[in-house]
Structure formats: C-alpha cells, structure tokens
Amino acid sequence: MSNLERIAKLSGFSKATVSRVLNHSPHVSQETRATILQIMKELDYVPNRNAISLSTGQTLQIGMITSSINEIMLPFLNGFVEVAEQHGFQTIIYTTNDDTSKERQAFEDLRQKRVDALVIISCVTSAKEVESYCKYGPIVSWQRMDNPAIGSVAMDQFKGYTLALDHLIPKGHTRIANALGRTYSINTRSRQQAYEQAMQKYNLPVLRQFYYPSTYTILDGERVMRAMLQQSEALPSAILCSNDHVAAGVLCEARRQHLRVPGDLAIVGFDDTELSHTLGITTIRNPIAAQAQNAFHLLSGPLRGIDMPQAELCFELIERTTT
C-alpha cells in the first residue's frame, strides 16, 4: 500500500507539501503540484479516510436514527441523503426498532466520533438523555422534541390537521374518527388537540371512542375499518388518518365491506404519497423533503460554520375522490 509518506519520498518533497496538494492549498507551485500528482497517479494512491478523520476530527458522516425504514419516512430519508451528499456528507442509518439500547449505540457513535452529527427521525430515548449527547455534536430531530436544546424541523401537525377539519366540517361531516400514530408523540397530541378544538369550535361531539392509536400501515388501516364497523355505535361519517397508508387500508377494507366512499365514509390521509395519488385519496401534503433539507441546514451551522437559511414550509390539502 502506498501512503502519503511514500509519495513524499518518491517526489522528493515533504509530507506537508504532498498534503497541501491533496487539499488544494494555493501555496504549492504549479510544477510541484504536477510532479506530485503524477506520482500519485502512477502509484494509484488514495488517502486513507480513517487517517484523515483521525487528524481532522471530522468523519463527514451523519447518523440517522429511525425505528425502521418504511415508506413514510422515505421522502425524508432521500431528501436528507441528497442534500447531505451535495455537501460532502454521507448518511449512516441506524435502524433501532424503537429499542433504546440500539438508539444508545447511535448516540455513542456520535460520542466516539464515528459520525459528526445525528438526525432523529424517530426515537424513544428521553429528551433529557438525548440532550446529554448534544455536547458531542449537533443533533436535529424530525420528530418534535420536548427539549429546546435539540433542533427540530417537524412541522406543527396542528395546522395540517386543522386544514383537514376545515375541509370536512363544511361538507357536513359531524362525526369524525381518528386513526392516530404513536400514542405519546407530540404529533399525535397535536393532532388530537386540533381535532378537539375544531369540534368545540363547531360545537360537535368529540368521539374519543373512535380514536384508534398506533396505526401506521395499510394493515392497520384495515383493522381500523373493521373495528369501526364492530363498534355498537353508528359509523362516523369521516375518518382522519395518520398517514396515507392507513387511509389506503381503510379505503380498501371499506370497499370490501361495500361501503360507499365518500358517501358512507369520507377518508383523509396525510403526506400525499404516491399511494394516495394512485388510490385517489384526499390528503394533506406535508413538504417532507423540504423538512429534510432544513434538517441538514440546521446541522450546517455547527458542522461547517455555515449558516444556511431554513425554507418556509406549509401544508396543503389535496382534494381527491374520498371526500
């Protein structure tokens, strides 16, 4: 293996000069640079990343913590990977299955300098513990965190949800069900608040018996639909779903049960994924890729000393055939 020292010896210059060539330092004469580059080429030399990282203290790697990789987070993941790459950073994914010990592994990797920063997509570690790792490097979260020390690019789901309600209620929907996500997440609480406030505002009943927690997938959506039908009470006239997948499940199962959509049941999804587009589900567009970019921009300050502006984001309702 050829290393920098070897290049130095063969070229007759010092390691410092070779290093300068590698780093495009202006303080190298043209001829010197040419000579050294030539020798590097002949020896098929590439610098060792680990040595660079050890020296500089930077790995140019960012860790991404997520419970699992699924379709919902893909736009965020892809958006983040792309912008990070543009700035020379690579993304390492930590799939944790919501296991604290695996999450800790990711945080420890920040401490051990395997990664320069962390992006949290979902995590169950307490905000307090997460904060204790902030001193080792910047941490940004997609999920809203209780702790101001941790940057967040999550959008206030309250507004998105309110958008959906202001769309449904004027259409005459009074009894509205909710397929919710993670029970203790801020998003879920925010959505519940939006719902309960809207109901109060319009003087409508809050149907807590039609709250369905922990719904994430198509299958969960189907389960919710069946559960609604089995309830002793009459079917709600509309359902707000935590994401498009759940909405798709509800829709498929509703059709299978010969319900008319939106006649018997209106359905609203969330995220505006391809699936909702295909199935014609009304949904709330959540500018996820833009959030991912903001996440990287937030890290840019501490990481590269460059302050990048946060993009302005807002929700949008895409009306299709299910409302």
Partner DNA sequence: CTAAAGGATGAAACGCGTTACATGTCAAAT
Partner DNA sequence: ATTTGACATGTAACGCGTTTCATCCTTTAG
**Which residues are near DNA by CB under 7 A?**
1, 3-5, 12-17, 19-20, 22-23, 26-29, 31-32, 45-48, 51-52, 54-57
Q: Identify each DSSP E strand in 228-271 by its residue range.
A: 238-241, 266-270
93 binds, among DNA, its own copies, none (CB under 5 to 8 A by kind): its own copies
Among 11, 17, 59, 125, binds its own copies (CB under 8 A): 59
263 binds, among DNA, its own copies, none (CB under 5 to 8 A by kind): none
135 in helix, strand or coil?
A: helix
- Confirm or reject binding of residue 46 to its own copies (CB under 8 A): yes
Closer to its own copies by Cβ: residue 218 or 265: 218
Among 50, 203, 230, 232, binds its own copies (CB under 8 A): 50
Among 30, 112, 203, 232, binds its own copies (CB under 8 A): 112
Pairing of strands 282-285, 316-318: antiparallel
**Token pair of 174, please?**
């009074």
**Token pair of 181, please?**
């996500």
128 vs 121: CA distance, rounded Å: 17
**Which ranges constitute the DSSP H helices of the chain?**
4-11, 15-22, 30-43, 49-56, 74-86, 100-111, 127-133, 157-168, 186-201, 218-230, 244-256, 274-279, 288-304
224 binds, among its own copies, DNA, none (CB under 5 to 8 A by kind): none
- Confirm or reject binding of residue 139 to its own copies (CB under 8 A): no
Conformation bin of residue 142: beta by default, left when phi > 0, alpha when psi is -120 to 50: alpha
134 binds, among DNA, its own copies, none (CB under 5 to 8 A by kind): none
DSSP string, 20-43: HHHTT-S-S-HHHHHHHHHHHHHH
- Confirm or reject binding of residue 218 to its own copies (CB under 8 A): yes
Nearest residue to 213 via CA among 250, 242, 235: 242
- Confirm or reject binding of residue 203 to its own copies (CB under 8 A): no
Among 14, 48, 231, 257, binds its own copies (CB under 8 A): 48
Which residues of the shown chain bind its own copies in the complex (CB under 8 A)? 46-51, 53-54, 59, 61, 68-71, 74, 77-78, 81-82, 85, 90-95, 102, 108-109, 111-114, 217-219, 222, 248-249, 252, 274-275, 277-279
